[in-house]
Amino acid sequence: MSQTIIAFFGDLGLWGIFLLMAVESSLFPLPSEIVMIPAGIVAAKGGYPVWMAILAGGFGSLLGASVNYAIGKYLGKPFVLKYGKYFFLNRKKYEEAETLFLKNANLYTFLGRLLPVVRHLISIPAGIFRMPLPYFASITFFGATLWCSVLALSGYYFGEPVIELIEHYVFEFKIATVIGLVAFAVWFFRKKR
């Protein structure tokens, strides 16, 4: 499976990374791990510079998130709640993302790019509540590029064993990520107070 994924991404190139990460950041569930880690492996084998893969992933994520922002801004919450089920978005998931957004729009728009499930949804409340587009774009790009860097550099430095580990430990990897982000949030809020 690892060889198939790497061959696929080797053929796809930077535009493929851009497009797949745009899909990943929209309402369609495509794990970023299966895009950016192989991109890092291909970069390590000389396919393209790793920083270009990271930027392609960051800009692709921004494009997908901007589509969700536009859905929120121009179609609104009633549309999202009525038709979201056709895009694997249920009311509960949306309301969780909205609750986070309302607590601290800037912080959770950034942190949302690093959290499974929330990553796909946090842009919708940003559009619904009319977060200024320059703030949204810069926060989203920075958070998404950070996430793409972690994944691509994992593939770049550790290679195919990372894919095999993620294949076997996807659930545990997500739990560890969430625990790490919660610990960071607790530290951040205590420091702020």
Question: Would you list the domain boundaries of the chain?
Answer: 2-192
User: Which residues does 12 contact at the CB level (< 8 Å), separation at least 6?
Assistant: 20
Residue 25 C-alpha from the chain's centroid: 5
CA dist 47 and 53 (Å) reads 10
CA distance 15 to 154: 20
pTM of the shown model: 0.72
Q: Mutual orientation of helices 133-158 and 33-44 as an angle, nearest 10°?
A: 50
Residue 23 contacts residue 58 (beta carbons within 8 Å): no
Calpha distance 35→14 (Å, rounded): 11
pLDDT tens across the length of the chain (193 residues): 556 656 666 667 889 899 989 988 887 767 888 888 888 888 888 878 999 999 999 999 999 999 988 988 888 777 777 777 766 666 777 777 777 777 777 777 777 777 766 677 778 888 888 888 898 899 889 989 999 999 999 888 887 666 666 666 666 666 776 677 677 777 777 776 5
Residue 50 has what pLDDT? 92
The pLDDT of residue 131: 84
Per-residue pLDDT, 58: 94
Output the pLDDT for position 125. 80
Q: How far apart are CA 16 and CA 22, in angstroms?
A: 10
